[in-house]
Amino acid sequence: MNKKISTAIEIFGLLEGTWQGEGRGGYPTIDSFDYREELFFTHRDESTLAYDQRTEKRIDGTEEFVTSHWENGFIRILEENELELVNAQSGGRGELLIGHIEKLDSLTRLHFASKAVTNDPQVISTTRVFELEGDHLRYELEMSTIKVARLARHLSITLERVHEGENQL
C-alpha cells in the first residue's frame, strides 16, 4: 500500500466518532444566524468513510433551535490520493466533490471542491474545508449561486470530539 493511501486511511480513523459544536452561518443574500451541529463519521472499510451531518438553526432572539439541515454521504479514497465526497441532503440537493489532504505539522486539512451539484438550480458550486487538530474539527463551507457568482462563506463551525470510534449511522 502506498504512503499516500495509508495517510488517508489513518486520517479516516482519526475522524471516526461523534463531533458537536456551535457555529455561524450567513451569506450575502441572507441574514447571519447561529447554528449547532452534530457530525458522525464511521470508517466502514479501507477506502470509505461514511458521515451523517445534522444541523439546527437558532430561532432569532431565543435559546431555541429548529432542525435546518441534514445530509448523509461518503468520503472515498480515489487514485493518486484524491478524495471524493458524495452526499444527499434533506432539501433534495446532491453534491459530488473532489478533494485532497494536506498535512501541516499537527493540523490535517481536507479540501473539497464541487464537480457536480444536482437538484438545486440556485447553487453553482461549493467548497468544503475540514481542519482536524487533535479533538477539534473546524469546518467551512463556501458556495456560489446564481445571485452571488463568487464563492462566499456560508458556514463556519468548530466541533469537538464527544465520542471516539464506531457510530451507528
Beta strands in 28-150 (DSSP E): 30-45, 48-58, 65-77, 83-89, 94-104, 107-118, 123-133, 136-145
The backbone torsions φ and ψ at residue 30, rounded to the nearest 5 degrees and listed phi first, read -135, 165
Instruction: Classify residue 56: in a domain, yes or no.
Output: yes
Instruction: Classify residue 89: in a domain, yes or no.
Output: yes
> Domain of 7: which CATH number?
2.40.128.20
Element (H, E) at 22: strand 17-27
Distance CA 71, CA 94 (A): 9
Q: Which residues contact 6 (CB under 8 A, 6 or more apart)?
A: none
Q: How many CB atoms lie within 10 A of CB 87?
A: 18
Instruction: Classify residue 132: in a domain, yes or no.
Output: yes
Tell me if residue 74 falls in helix, strand or coil.
strand
Instruction: Classify residue 70: in a domain, yes or no.
Output: yes
Q: How many CB atoms lie within 10 A of CB 1?
A: 7
Give me the domain span that covers residue 62: 3-164
Residue 106 to residues 61, 98, 136, 163: CA-CA distances in angstroms? 38, 23, 11, 20
Q: In the chain, pLDDT over 70 holds for what percent of residues?
A: 94
Instruction: Classify residue 169: in a domain, yes or no.
Output: no
Instruction: Classify residue 124: in a domain, yes or no.
Output: yes
Going by pLDDT thresholds of 50, 70 and 90, the confidence category of residue 81 is: confident
Q: How many CB atoms lie within 10 A of CB 47?
A: 17
Domains in the chain, number? 1
Going by pLDDT thresholds of 50, 70 and 90, the confidence category of residue 26 is: very high
In single-letter form, the type of residue at position 60 comes to: D
Q: pLDDT value at position 32?
A: 96
Q: pLDDT value at position 107?
A: 95
Q: Are 54 and 38 in contact (CB under 8 A)?
A: yes
Q: What is the mean pLDDT of residues 151-169?
A: 85
pLDDT tens profile 33-62: 999 999 999 987 888 999 999 999 999 889
Distance CA 115, CA 83 (A): 12
Of 3-7, 20-24, 30-34, 66-70, the least confident: 3-7
Residue 166 scores a pLDDT above 80: no
Instruction: Classify residue 72: in a domain, yes or no.
Output: yes
pLDDT tens profile 91-143: 999 999 999 999 989 999 999 999 999 999 999 999 999 999 999 999 999 99
